[in-house]
Amino acid sequence: MHNADIPPDVLRQREAKWLDMLNSWDKWMAKKHKKVKLRCQKGIPPSLRGRAWLYLSGGKVKKEQNQGKFQELDSQPGDPKWLDVIEKDLHRQFPFHEMFVARGGHGQQDLFRVLKAYTLHRPEEGYCQAQAPIAAVLLMHMPAEDAFWGLVQICEKYLPGYYSAGLEAIQLDGEILFALLKRVSPVAHRHLKKYKIDPILYMTEWFMCAFSRTLPWVSVLRMWDMFFCEGVKIIFRVGLVLLKCMLGSQEKLKVCQGQYETMELLRSIEPRYMHEAFLVQEVSSAHTLTCCTSISIQTIFKHGLIMKHIHIYFLKNATH
């Protein structure tokens, strides 16, 4: 249900429940994590979404452990090599949103500050274009310092290695997604294999931007509510649902006999499959969930694409 469709008294009740949780967060996370998860699936009230995301991600703790760090990074000039690239990307992020519509406006300024700070925080990584929409979504919900720590958590805890040069982590997760697809939708799997369509061709933007450039806005928010609570497996489940819906029947495949036609189909996903209610239902469903919590270790070793800690990280997160 869209927030606009939720009766005001129900929304107030949800806000009260979330305030209670946020005010005794450690206790809730330690003893009632399943309840927190269910409430994230229902959708976080808009008025508390930014605060909830920061708590769920661990960004609040990071910020408290590193007091003054953002201000220190913010005051430094930064590497001109990255600053030029960041500057060019600012106006491309949600140009119709009031925060980012004006060149040099406060939204674009804060986005620049957050992205610059991250390049100083992780100079060996620098800047990756997919970080800009992630940071922009965070800034729509929280101040620049909080958005910085939210970005740090996404890059280091939720999607480690995604934004490093070489894209090894995204290639590994592409292979995992493809292996899972064989179980969720053998028809879609066979089709992609037949036309030699590498996962990196269709899932890179989905995963690196956490679907912020793919789904309708309301669906993005609902998926992020669940993503911050449950981790990267939510991104996998959304990807599996979209692939199954678009390529999972012989009827649909009649119109895409080839690599080009298939890619065009995946670039124009039918709106009904991206609707928030449909996605939440599918992403939470038993079949998709089961397939995302029992990944074949053989698949990972067979491809041997990247360091050990990344697949251990994924397996750990997938079994929560």
**312 CB contacts (<8 Å, ≥6 apart)?**
none
Of 217, 182, 154, give the one whose Cα is nearest residue 291.
182
**276 CB contacts (<8 Å, ≥6 apart)?**
2, 216, 218, 219, 222
Helices 233-247 & 199-208 angle (0-180, nearest 10): 130
C-alpha–C-alpha distance, residues 254 and 250, integer Å: 6
CATH number at 69-158 = 1.10.8.270
Structure tokens at 7: 């009766």
Compute CA distances 186 → 180, 190, 194, 236, 268, whole Å: 10, 6, 12, 16, 22
Of 106, 77, 74, 79, give the one whose Cα is nearest residue 90.
106
pLDDT on residue 297: 40
- State the architecture of 168-318 in CATH terms: Orthogonal Bundle (1.10)
pLDDT on residue 28: 94
pLDDT on residue 289: 53
pLDDT on residue 102: 81
C-alpha–C-alpha distance, residues 171 and 157, integer Å: 18
Q: Is 24 exposed, middle or buried (0-12, 13-18, 19+ CB in 10 A)?
A: exposed
Name residue, tokens 């100083």: 120
Compute CA distances 152 → 2, 10, 123, 214, 228, whole Å: 29, 34, 13, 22, 13
pLDDT on residue 5: 74
C-alpha–C-alpha distance, residues 225 and 314, integer Å: 19
pLDDT on residue 304: 45
Average pLDDT per block of 10 residues along the chain, 320 residues long = 73 94 94 93 96 98 98 96 94 87 88 98 95 98 98 96 90 94 95 96 96 96 97 95 95 90 94 96 72 47 43 44
Residues of the chain with CATH 1.10.472.80: 168-318
pLDDT on residue 292: 57
pTM of the model: 0.89
C-alpha–C-alpha distance, residues 142 and 110, integer Å: 11
Residues of the chain with CATH 1.10.8.270: 69-158
C-alpha–C-alpha distance, residues 236 and 174, integer Å: 9
DSSP state of 262: H
